[in-house]
Amino acid sequence: MVKVAFIGIGKMGLGMASRLLAAGHDLAVFNRTAAKAEPLVRLGARCAASPREACSGAEAVFSMTADDASSRAVWLGPQGILAANRAPRGFAIECSTLSHDWVLELAREAAARGLRYIDAPVTGLPEDAANGALTLLVGASPDDLRAARDLLSAVSRSVIHFGSVGAGTAYKLIINLIGAVQIASAAEGLALAERAGLDPRVVADAVATSQAASPQVVRNTRRMVDDDHYRNVVFTPALRLKDVDYGLRLAGKLGLGAPFGELAADALRRLCELGLADVNESKVIHIARGRRPR
């Protein structure tokens, strides 16, 4: 049994934290909206009033927040994770999708306080988190990864080691950038099919068995056809746009252009400007349907 803190109990964090409890770990949690942690408290977790309190004496801390700003808020400051009195040589396991620059900065801050930093963004849906079926995209030293394997195995089915700290985040930004382009192009294709008089359901079924299929394309085209953008939201335009912006920032830092990513970002940004930032990202079909040739 390891004394663990989990910071950020959203849709993904709730499932991940529940897997740590199921594995027998001693768990303290923090979330800005404490009510979201109540299911974990009923399972035996302790709900803390601050990240610092949750991490007191912890041997490992997991963080799963929305973006750089929320990550900074929970790690830094007098009530942040790094201000806690933790066990020596503990693990800092950051599972959020963050900018590459902030991950490297945070890793340096953690190392300066004697923590072993594991860069471990995830891929998978909330039900995968609840079932321990996530894939972790890891950047870490081989020794640190080896030492953290049991903890990581509690929340995942697969761990892919991409290299040193920052490599996991680089891959996550790359794959989410690809996903944004796929979803935007699928919306464009479906809008074109509708305009051409094709049956959208037949098109979505055909796409699902075509070479253009991917899990994201299949899932989102079906939701586009059903106009199912408001219930059971999996991933929002706001979060996808955040990931794309971080990916574009990484591309710029590395001296590469990403014109397809920029087009996808433009569609997502327009959707957010219409007040649709928090629906399902499949709503991007709305932008595709309204676009006119120049």
pLDDT at 294: 38
Catalytic residue check, 36: no
Convert the pLDDT of each residue in 170-201 to its tens digit: 999 999 999 999 999 999 999 999 999 999 99
pLDDT at 291: 57
The pTM for the full model equals 0.96
Residues of the chain with pLDDT > 90, as a percent, come to: 98
Q: What is the Cα Rg of the chain in Å?
A: 20
Q: Does residue 293 register a pLDDT over 50?
A: no
| Domains of the chain, CATH where assigned | 3-164 (3.40.50.720), 170-290 (1.10.1040.10)
Of 3, 172, 242, 283, the active-site residue reads 172
Convert the pLDDT of each residue in 45-57 to its tens digit: 999 999 999 999 9
Convert the pLDDT of each residue in 103-113 to its tens digit: 999 999 999 99
Q: Does residue 292 register a pLDDT over 90?
A: no
* CA atoms of 181 and 189, how far apart (whole Å): 12
